[in-house]
Amino acid sequence: MSASRSTGRVVALCGGVGGAKLAYGLQHILGSDLTLVVNTGDDFDHLGLRISPDIDTVLYTLSGLANRELGWGRQDESWNFMQALAALGGETWFQLGDRDLAIHVERTRRLQTGETLSAITASIAARLGIQARVLPMSDHPVRTVVATSEGVLPFQRYFVERRCAPVVNKISFDGAAKARACSQVLSALHDPDLRAIIICPSNPYLSVDPILSVPGMRLAIENAAVPVVAVSPIIGGKAVKGPTDKIMAELGVPATSRAIAEHYGELIHGLIVDHADEEDRKTTRCTVHAAASLMKTDEDRIRLAGVALDFAGNLATDIAVAARRRGR
Q: Which of residues 36-65 bind ligand GDP (CB under 6 A)?
A: 54, 57
Asked if 269 is part of the footprint of ligand GDP (rule: CB under 6 A), the reply reads no
Asked if 100 is part of the footprint of ligand GDP (rule: CB under 6 A), the reply reads no
H/E stretch holding 174: strand 168-174
Residue among 118 and 232 whose Cβ is closer to ligand GDP: 232
- H runs (alpha helix) in 164-297: 183-190, 209-212, 217-223, 244-250, 257-264, 280-283
The residue type at 9: R
Please answer whether residues 163 and 148 qualify as being in contact, where contact means their C-beta atoms are separated by less than 8 angstroms.
Answer: no
What is residue 74's DSSP assignment?
A: B
What is the distance of C-alpha 55 from the center of its chain?
A: 9
Asked if 210 is part of the footprint of ligand GDP (rule: CB under 6 A), the reply reads no
Choose the binding region for ligand GDP from 80-88, 127-135, 171-179, 225-233 (rule: CB under 6 A). Answer: 225-233
From candidates 4, 203, 213, 256, binder to ligand GDP by CB under 6 A? 203
Asked if 270 is part of the footprint of ligand GDP (rule: CB under 6 A), the reply reads no
Q: Which of residues 72-91 bind ligand GDP (CB under 6 A)?
A: none
Pick the closest to residue 318 from 293, 289, 277 (CA basis): 289
Asked if 124 is part of the footprint of ligand GDP (rule: CB under 6 A), the reply reads no
From candidates 201, 227, 270, 313, binder to ligand GDP by CB under 6 A? 201
What is residue 251's DSSP assignment?
A: T
Q: How many CB atoms lie within 10 A of CB 60?
A: 22
Mask: binding to ligand GDP, 152-191, rule CB under 6 A, as x and -? ----------------------------------------
Choose the binding region for ligand GDP from 12-20, 98-106, 279-287, 306-314 (rule: CB under 6 A). Answer: 12-20
Asked if 233 is part of the footprint of ligand GDP (rule: CB under 6 A), the reply reads yes
Asked if 295 is part of the footprint of ligand GDP (rule: CB under 6 A), the reply reads yes
Residue among 54 and 280 whose Cβ is closer to ligand GDP: 54
Tell me how long the chain is: 328
CA 300, CA 204: separation in Å to the nearest integer? 22
Give the residue at shortest CB distance from ligand GDP.
Answer: 18
User: For the chain, what is the total number of helices (H) and then of strands (E)?
Assistant: 13, 14
Residue among 266 and 298 whose Cβ is closer to ligand GDP: 298
Phi, psi of 279 (to 5 degrees): -55, -30
Output the CA angle 59-226-327, nearest 5 degrees.
Answer: 175
Output the CA angle 159-208-215, nearest 5 degrees.
Answer: 115
Q: Kindly state the number of chain residues that form the binding site for ligand GDP, as judged by CB under 6 A.
A: 24
Asked if 275 is part of the footprint of ligand GDP (rule: CB under 6 A), the reply reads no
Nearest distance from C-beta of residue 18 to ligand GDP, angstroms: 2
Residue among 85 and 160 whose Cβ is closer to ligand GDP: 160
